[in-house]
Each structure stands twice: as structure tokens, then as C-alpha cells.
Structure 1
Amino acid sequence: MRQSLAFVGSTFADSTIGSLYEFVGSGNYYTETTSYVNLGYWAGARTLDEASQALAGLLARTAQLQQGDEVLDVGFGFGDQDLFWFQNFAPRRITAINVVPLQVRAAHRRVERAGLTHDIRLQLASATELPFAEQSFDKVLALECAFHFETRATFFSEAMRVLRPGGTLVTCDLIAAGPRRTDVKRRLIDRVHCRLWRIPRANMYDRHEYAHALTRAGYANVRVESIAADVFEPYLRFCEFFARGETGRRLNPLLRVGPGAMRRLGWFDQYDYILARADKAMCAGPTG
């Protein structure tokens, strides 16, 4: 409990993404057999492990991930999706970046144990300052992380720069469900939520503006669809059930009460969850 209070107390002093995920750690979430840290895609899933992997699979299929692809994974968590993608979709190589040192170290160990250090290359780097040359990748993937980026629009531009002509950007992302509320209570809840979960205010727009942002960054064939019905409510139901059980006792108390608090406050009512795909035109030249 002391750790939980310290986290809440420091939230308004340290708004970095790293501080959030250092707190969550690798053993402080609702998964049991994986280390995914996402809400999951629950069409047919029974556990968060299944739903999280289903979300990774949905992202890969939407990107048409295939043999020979050079892939950039932005915000790789503990590396679960990279291992899954490499073993099931056979890309040529996955380069993955993350800004959380704890996660980078843990993912390195997992990739080493799998004997895939030449195939999955992990490094500490920012999605808004990609340390790669222009036209380096066929696919850029962001699995439930772009809402953290300062800003998402900057990431879209950077992804466009490093994509090869004909390449594809695919994201699963948390966004605003519509125009920002004007009532004082809702604005306060929104402000606290953005601070707790490290969401820049500049990223809080709906899926129509999301599509416009991709178009402004130069993408073609932009598609943004809501999959919220298969994400939010089934995720909350599972977490509430899990937290009441014996295995839920291992969770940090703040995370154990989190789903119930989110439901009571109606936090997910103001959010949408989208799957987006956008292409770099075949005739695109160097950007920058």
C-alpha cells in the first residue's frame, strides 16, 4: 500500500512513461502466462493472456505481416509480441524500441533465451526521434502505445520517414470517443486520467481526427475503425473477476481496485479503442 500511495503522490511530479511502467513492473498485471501489458482483443478470448495475444495477432494480420518484412515495433513492452510475430509470421527481422529501461532489460533476456538476438533487435529509443535512416522498414507497428507519445502526430511523421515506399503503419490505440466534455467533473476526471496514464493532452482526439492526422502526415489508404466493443467491457469484467480471486492477491492494491474504480468513474465511457492502418505511397521519395 505504501508503494501505491507513493506512486499516486509522485504522479504529478513525474509524468514520464517510464515511471508508470516501472511501477507496473512485470509481475504486477492481470496476465498469468505472458507479460503483455495491453487491454486485449476479446472476441473469443477467455483470459487476458489470450486476449493480449489476439490483439497482437490482429495487428499483424492488419499489417499483412509476412516473410521477408523488415519490421519496426515501437513500444514493445516486455517483447511478447516480437517473439510471437517472429515465430508465427516469419518476417526477415524485427527491430524494436522502447523508452522503459526495465522492460528493455527483461525483453533482452527473453530474446536471448529464445536464441533470436540476430532476428529480434531491441534498443532503448524514442518513437518521436527514431534513430534509423529513411526508408528502412516495410512495416511499422505500434501495439497500444502511441497515445503515450509526445506527440502522436510527431510519431506519425517519423514512421513515414523510416517506411519504404509501399510500406505500412498499423496501430492499436486509445483515443477520445468524441469532443472533450465541458462539465467540470468530467474535465477533472479526464485530467487525472491523462496524468495517471501519461497521455499528453495533444493526443486526446477522436477517430475522425486520427484519420486526418495520418493524412496530414502524408499517408494514403487511411483506415481507422473502432474495436472498443471487443476491448473495454470484456477487459473490465475479466479484471474485476481476477482481482477478487486468489491469484489477484499478488497484485499491487492500487491495481487491484483499479478496474472497479474505472467503471464507477466511467473512464472508458469517454474513450474509444481503434485499429488503424495507413500506407506510404509507392512513389514516395525521401522525407525530411
Structure 2
Amino acid sequence: MTDTPRNITPDHVADHYDRLTDVLDEASEGNLHFGYWPAPHDGSSVEVAAARLADLLIHKLGEVGGRRVLNVGCDSGKPAVRLALSTPVKEVVGVTISPVQVERATARAEREGVADRVRFQRADAMELPFPDASFDAVWVVECLFHLHSPAQALGEIARVLRPGGRLAVMDIVLREPIAAQERAAYERAASMFAIPDHIELAEYPRLISEAGLRLEELADLGDDIIGPSHQAMEAAALAKPDAFAAAFGVKSDQFDGHVAEFKRIGAALDLGYVVLTARHPG
């Protein structure tokens, strides 16, 4: 892709995950989201760490037994299926912009025997195809940084959330603005990962408030998530460089150089990982 981050559209994001979902699934035991290694880091596998993070967010949702949950950014379905297997939820509806992810997630729900309570569909988070006040809880998993208007998406989430319903979000954020000397390199990397721009951590309370939601809790767990997750991703990519290079659309003999550049940019950026809960007043 040659577009700058601010020109990235939902179709770009869909194409990104259509190409990457299978190779990431294989590398991370079906978990496309990051892992959580609480300090001191305990050497857990990616699968264990990712399950730990999913369980944390399930806990943040609160009591959802007998209720309807919307999972925005459902990737290949593992978090939504985990929620259904661990909680007597009435229904989980997962949405993703990627048709490949819908197909993989639907197959996962069928394999795990929860297809009667878990379904997936293609949808743009900025234009959710659901009636007002139709969900008791909304779960947003590492997707707002892919949207050119996170504020619009949060407004849509507030619209479909019932009064008194809870929102739980986990998202990759910037702790500090990007330094001017790193901006060009960041834009190249962000284009490859279909990221219009990361949200700054300090902006989240305002975004939640302007969506008409009441912020309950906000924590930055980046120190226990970002670094080890990036290390795990780097190891997976270097273990199968041809597959990752093809998925990213770069030449195999140039892939090591891309990995090295991403690693340098990641070290230069001050990335955090927000975990927050908010409630729809009413």
C-alpha cells in the first residue's frame, strides 16, 4: 500500500486482515489480539498471555449472563467464543470489516458448539447495522486505532447500547505525541498495518464523554502488553518470513529490513495499552 495513514479506508483495513488473518492465526494459536504478561514477566506463551488478556476484558464487562453482547473487532472469533464458553450469555454478535475473519470466526463458533449463541457478520464500526439500544454490553477489541473516526464509532456504540449498559475497550494508544523526526517513518509503518493514526491516551476521556457515555475506569497496561507482544510478533514473523512477507505484500528478501524498521519505530514511539470501562447513563 502506498496511501498515507490518513487516507486509509475501511476497505484498506478489510484487505489488510483478509491477507493477514490466516498467517497470524497460525502464529498465535488463533489469537489476533495482544497478550498480557503482568510484571514480573513470567514467560507465558502467547496463547496463555492472550487468553489472560481476554479474561481480563470479560471481567470488565461485568455480569452479562442472559444478555446480548456486541463484540466490535471480533478478529477470527476466539475472544467471542471464549466469552460464550465462560459465561451464560444470551447472544454474542461479533462484527469485523474483514470477510475472511467472518468466515473463520463462524467456523470457530461451529467447532466449539456455540453457534446457537455466537454469530458474526461484516460491518463497519462507524456505521453499525443495528437498532438503537439493542445490546446490553459492548466489547471493543483492538480496533479503534484502525478507524479514521474513532469518535464516530464510539457514537455508534453509544447508540446501540441500552441505558445502563456497559462498554469495555482495549486499544493501543500513544502516550505522547509522535516526535516530528519519527513522523515519516511512522506513516510508512502505519500504512502497512492499516492504521490511520493512533489515539493519544489523554484523548480517551473526552472521546468517551462526547459519545454520551460515562467513563468508569481507565488504566494503561502498556508496560505488560506492548513490549512482550511486539517481541512475540517479531519472533513469529522471523520464523516464517516468506508467509509474512507475502501477507504484507513485500519481497521476501526485503522482509528482514522491514522487521528491523518496525522494531526501531516501535522503540521510538511511546505506546500504551488502554483498558477502560464506561456506562451508558440511564
TM-score of the superposition, structure 1-length normalised?
0.83
Question: Deviation at 1:280?
Answer: 0.6
Alignment partners' CA distance in 2, 1:26 and 1:100: 12
Q: What is the CA-CA distance between 1:259 and the residue it aligns to? A: 5.2
CA distance in 2, matches of 1:97, 1:243: 27
* Higher mean displacement: 106-115 or 228-237: 106-115
Equivalent pair of 2:144/2:150 in contact (CA under 8 Å): yes
Deviations 1:226-280 (A, max 9, x none): 11011111123334445565xx467424777465433223456232211111111
Q: Distance in 1 between matches of 2:268 and 2:68?
A: 35
Structure 1 pair 124–268 and aligned structure 2 pair: CA distance change class (3 A): farther
Q: What SS does the aligned partner of 2:27 have?
A: coil
The count of residues paired between Structure 1 and Structure 2 equals 266
Structure 1 residue corresponding to 2:244, chosen from 216, 232, 252: 252
Work out whether residues 31 and 49 of structure 1, in 8 Å CA contact, stay in contact via their aligned partners in 2: no
Q: Please name the residue that 2:263 is paired with.
A: 263
The aligned amino acid for 1:188 is: A
The alpha-carbon deviation at position 197 of structure 1 amounts to: 1.8
**Alignment map for 1:203-242 (pairs within 5 Å):** 204-242=198-236
State how far apart, in whole Å, the 1-side matches of 2:210 and 2:204 are: 10
Provide the rounded CA distance (Å) in 2 between the counterparts of 1:28 and 1:164.
Answer: 34
Aligned mates of 1:60, 1:11 — CA distance in 2: 37
> Which of 55, 62, 65 pairs up with 1:64?
62
> Can you give the 5+ residue segments of structure 1 that lack an aligned partner in the other structure?
1-9, 284-288
- Indicate which of 160, 169, 190 corresponds to 1:171: 169
Q: Which moved more, 1:134-143 or 1:63-72?
A: 63-72
Equivalence for 1:40:
35
- In 2, are the aligned partners of 1:168 and 1:277 still within 8 Å (CA)? yes
Letter in 2 for 1:265: I
Q: Could you list the per-position Cα deviations for residues 124-161 of structure 1 after superposition, in whole angstroms to 9, with x for gaps in the alignment? A: 11111111111111110011111112311111111111
Number of the residue aligned with 1:158: 156
* Aligned CA distance change for structure 1 residues 240 and 106 (closer, same or farther; 3 Å): closer
- Secondary structure of the equivalent of 2:188? helix
Hey, what does 1:79 align to over in structure 2?
77
TM-score by length of 2: 0.85
CA contact (8 A) 1:38 1:144 kept: yes
* Matching residue of 1:275: 275
In structure 1, distance between residues paired with 2:78 and 2:224:
21
What are the ranges of 5 or more consecutive residues in structure 2 without an aligned counterpart?
A: 249-254
User: How much has 1:117 moved relative to structure 2?
Assistant: 2.3
**C-alpha separation in 1, matches of 2:153 and 2:26:** 29
Cα pair 2:226 2:271 within 8 Å, conserved: no
Q: Give the distance between the partners of 1:239 and 1:106, measured in 2 at CA.
A: 21
Paired position in structure 1 for 2:251: none
CA distance in 2, matches of 1:196, 1:224: 29
Partner of 2:3: 12
1:148-185 alpha-carbon deviations (Å, 9 max, x no partner): 1231111111111111111111111012222342x3x3
